[in-house]
């Protein structure tokens, strides 16, 4: 498969932005090339960070540390301002506005459609099947020559389930399009990821984020793993200094502290199962869907009423009822033990 043939013509021919530091491959010496403030920074709290200088456009430190942590080749890694930035970049690289489309099996994470809409790229909605798995026949029926991306989310938001790995591989093998698998919630799942398949399938892009298990939604950092060819195009198209120095610093510190992330995951999974059992016992709740994520999807008799009652007590949950197949469904993030106790105090009065 020739990935370059899938890339928009203007991107194929794009001359990326370069700086003098690319040419001299140095960020040391007397730096008078980027109109920075050589005197220093107005933010002095963290020694050695040189915030008066632009960050490394090649993401070298991030690639090194995250590559080592996840055993991923550095050349297969790209970092974005959250995975949301990478979703947008992929659309801009592969989909010609006003002509191309992306297939989005629903119900799923809303940003794929929003990013397509912003870029004037067609959205082909197909439905997941009744088990919220990929419906290969539906995709086959709706696929056309302008389908450049298929967006998949595993574990899926808001349904919480992992997608069948064989189906994902089938799509990679069958279609001459980019297959994006968003694994934002994979740390909470019991089964394996498809991230190791990127060397086998040049059209596969796996998204990850530091916003969930790592507890770093505030630093805005996500990454993808993909074939070197796709990674190089992402580097060409991104804003030159997309990942800022403070974010890189926070991430390095988080990786040194990764045992904390593992403890969070254990506690979240334990609490998820406790909440699941509690909700299961309520007659007001018709179904609690199995979850491989850090949230639960529940089908209520009356989702609006449940949401409003919770809101009156200051507990905010997400009503997903407007999505296909999710009538009367609420998505509830797993909170801390204390938060979940308070949640339970309110919902048990429903019965
Ligand atoms: C499936 C999925 N992907 C991506 C994101 C966004 O991640 P980030 O914070 O890295 O932009 C979310 C956020 O809720 C999500 O649910």
What are the pLDDT digits (tens) for 254-290?
Answer: 999 999 999 999 999 999 999 999 999 999 999 999 9
More confident position, 238 or 33: 238
**Of 62, 83, 86, which is best to mutate to test ligand 1, by the most ligand atoms within 8 angstroms of its C-beta?**
83
**What would the two tokens of residue 138 be?**
């539906």
pLDDT surpasses 70 at 201: yes
Ligand 1 center to residue 207 CA distance, Å?
9
pLDDT value at residue 308 = 94
Q: At 25, is the pLDDT very low, low, confident or very high (cuts 50, 70, 90)?
A: low
pLDDT surpasses 70 at 231: yes
β strands within 53-203, DSSP E: 77-80, 101-106, 122-127, 147-153, 178-182
For residue 73, how far is the Cα from the chain centroid?
20
0.85 exceeded by the pTM?
Answer: yes
Q: What average pLDDT does this structure show over 189-200?
A: 93
pLDDT value at residue 1 = 80
pLDDT value at residue 15 = 93
pLDDT surpasses 70 at 26: no
CA distance 24 to 88: 31
Q: What average pLDDT does this structure show over 93-98?
A: 98
Cis peptide upstream of residue 158 (ω within 30 degrees of 0): yes
Ramachandran class of 57: left when φ > 0, alpha when ψ lies in -120 to 50, beta otherwise: alpha
Please give the mean pLDDT across all residues of the chain.
96
CA distance 124 to 100: 10
How far CA 324 is from CA of 5, 151, 158, 327, in Å, comes to: 34, 17, 11, 7
pLDDT value at residue 19 = 85
Q: What average pLDDT does this structure show over 55-74?
A: 97
CB within 8 A of 77, min separation 6: which ones?
59, 62, 63, 66, 67, 223, 224, 225, 231
Q: At 45, is the pLDDT very low, low, confident or very high (cuts 50, 70, 90)?
A: confident
3-state secondary structure of 147: strand
Q: What average pLDDT does this structure show over 180-208?
A: 96
**Of 80, 111, 221, which is best to mutate to test ligand 1, by the most ligand atoms within 8 angstroms of its C-beta?**
111
More confident position, 226 or 27: 226
Percent above pLDDT 90 for the chain = 91
Q: What average pLDDT does this structure show over 5-10?
A: 96
pLDDT value at residue 44 = 76
pLDDT value at residue 153 = 98
Taking the CA atoms of 287, 288, 291 and 294 in sequence, report the sign of the dihedral they define. positive
User: Counting atoms of ligand 1 from 1, which one is nearest the CA of 83?
Assistant: 10
Lining residues, ligand 1, CB within 6 Å: 82-84, 109, 153, 157, 182, 184, 209, 211, 217, 222
Residue minimizing CA distance to atom 12 of ligand 1: 184
Ramachandran class of 297: left when φ > 0, alpha when ψ lies in -120 to 50, beta otherwise: beta
pLDDT value at residue 101 = 98
User: Counting atoms of ligand 1 from 1, which one is nearest the CA of 153?
Assistant: 1
8 Å CB contact between 130 and 91: no
Q: What average pLDDT does this structure show over 236-255?
A: 97
More confident position, 43 or 78: 78
Ligand 1 center to residue 335 CA distance, Å?
17
């Amino acid at each position: 498969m020739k990935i370059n043939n899938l890339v928009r013509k203007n991107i194929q021919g794009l001359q990326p932005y370069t700086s003098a530091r690319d040419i001299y491959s140095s960020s040391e010496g007397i730096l008078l090339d980027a109109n920075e403030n050589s005197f220093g920074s107005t933010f002095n709290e963290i020694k050695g960070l040189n915030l008066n200088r632009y960050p490394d456009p090649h993401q070298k430190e991030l690639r090194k540390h995250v590559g080592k942590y996840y055993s991923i080749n550095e050349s297969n890694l790209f970092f974005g301002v959250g995975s949301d930035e990478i979703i947008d970049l992929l659309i801009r690289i592969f989909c010609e506005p006003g002509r191309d489309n992306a297939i989005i099996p629903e119900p799923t994470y809303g940003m794929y459609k929003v990013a397509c809409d912003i870029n004037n790229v067609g959205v082909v909605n197909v439905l997941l099947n009744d088990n919220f798995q990929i419906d290969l026949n539906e995709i086959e029926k709706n696929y056309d020559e302008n389908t450049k991306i298929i967006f998949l989310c595993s574990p899926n938001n808001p349904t919480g389930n992992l997608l069948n790995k064989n189906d994902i591989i089938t799509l990679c093998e069958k279609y001459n399009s980019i297959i994006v698998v968003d694994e934002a919630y994979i740390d909470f799942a019991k089964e394996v990821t498809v991230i190791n398949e990127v060397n086998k399938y040049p059209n596969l892009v796996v998204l990850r984020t530091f916003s969930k298990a790592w507890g770093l939604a505030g630093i805005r950092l996500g990454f993808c793993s993909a074939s070197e060819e796709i990674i190089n195009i992402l580097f060409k198209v991104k804003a030159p200094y997309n990942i800022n120095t403070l974010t890189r610093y926070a991430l390095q510190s988080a990786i040194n502290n990764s045992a904390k992330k593992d403890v969070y995951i254990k506690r979240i999974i334990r609490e998820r199962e406790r909440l699941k059992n509690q909700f299961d016992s309520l007659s007001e709740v018709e179904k609690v869907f199995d979850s491989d994520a850090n949230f639960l999807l529940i089908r209520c008799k009356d989702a609006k009423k449940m949401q409003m009652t919770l809101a009156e007590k200051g507990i905010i949950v997400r009503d997903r009822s407007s999505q296909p197949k999710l009538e009367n469904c609420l998505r509830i993030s797993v909170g801390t033990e204390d938060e979940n106790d308070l949640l339970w105090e309110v919902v048990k009065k429903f019965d």
